[in-house]
Structure 1
Amino acid sequence: MARLLFRLGNVPEEEAEEVRALLDARGFDTYETRAGFWGLGVAAIWLRDETQFDAAREVLDAYQQGLAERVRRERDDLAERGEAPTLWTRLRHHPIRLLMVAVAVAVILALTLLPFLWLIE
């Protein structure tokens, strides 16, 4: 019976390609499912042979640990050079998005707190 190995939801296409290539290079028999038009399915990579699950999981865990270290190094390098994204650089590059988020937070706070404020009066 097939076993879920790697969910592809919210995974960048570059990372998904690396995972596919890694599993293929190691000889694991996998297949892929998509979430579908409405997003009701599971976008994932499945392992056909359940007996290979532990070995495949070890390979993926090692890959993800290496990926985390690589991303951490890249972030640290950006911070050293002063190019790491900050709140102010994001505000400067995406002012409308930040304004919309602030409005959404204010609306949610108002809807949450108004019933309690009416009880005080």
Structure 2
Amino acid sequence: MTSLLLNLRHVPDDEADEVRALLAERRIEFYETPPSRWGVSAGAIWIADETAAPEAERVLADYQERRRAQAQAEYAAAQRDGTAPTWWTTLRDDPLRVLVVLLAAALALGLIALPVVLMWR
């Protein structure tokens, strides 16, 4: 029986490639299902032999821990350098997007509050 190792939804290509390389390096048999045409499924990496699944999950957990630590270190370095994105830099770099998001949030809050306002009338 097969075992799902990694759903590829929202997984960057470099991360998926590194997971494939790790599995191949450890000689863990796996296969992939492709994403569906209409976006219902994003594809996945499956372990072909269920007895190898615990080792594959351990390898994946170790890899994800290293990747998390690296991302946190890069973000901390960017914060120290002053290059980390902030709300103000986003506003400066893309004011139209910020305005649209704020208007959408205001519209959503207004629609949520509308029944209460109408009830009090």
| TM-score, with structure 2 as normaliser | 0.95
Deviation at 1:43, TM superposition (A): 1.2
Shift, 1:37, TM fit: 1.1
2:35 and 2:107 map into 1 onto residues whose CA distance is 32
SS of residue in 1 equivalent to 2:5:
strand
Distance in 2 between residues matched to 1:72 and 1:40, nearest whole Å? 31
Q: Shift of residue 42 of structure 1?
A: 4.7
Q: CA–CA distance in 1 between the matches of 2:114 and 2:35?
A: 39
Q: Are 2:51 and 1:75 aligned?
A: no
Q: Which runs of 4 or more aligned residues in structure 1 lie more than 2 Å from their structure 2 counterparts after TM superposition?
A: none
RMSD: 1.0
What code does the residue aligned with 2:38 have? W
Long gaps (5+) in structure 1: none
The count of residues paired between Structure 1 and Structure 2 equals 121
SS of 1:31 mapped into structure 2: strand
Q: Which residue of 1 aligns with 2:41?
A: 41
Ranges in structure 2 where 5+ consecutive residues have no aligned partner: none
Deviation of the 1:101 alpha carbon? 1.0
Return the letter of the residue paired with 1:28: I
Task: List per-residue Cα deviations over 1:74-103 (Å, max 9, x = no partner).
Answer: 000011111111001111112222111111
TM-score by length of 1: 0.95
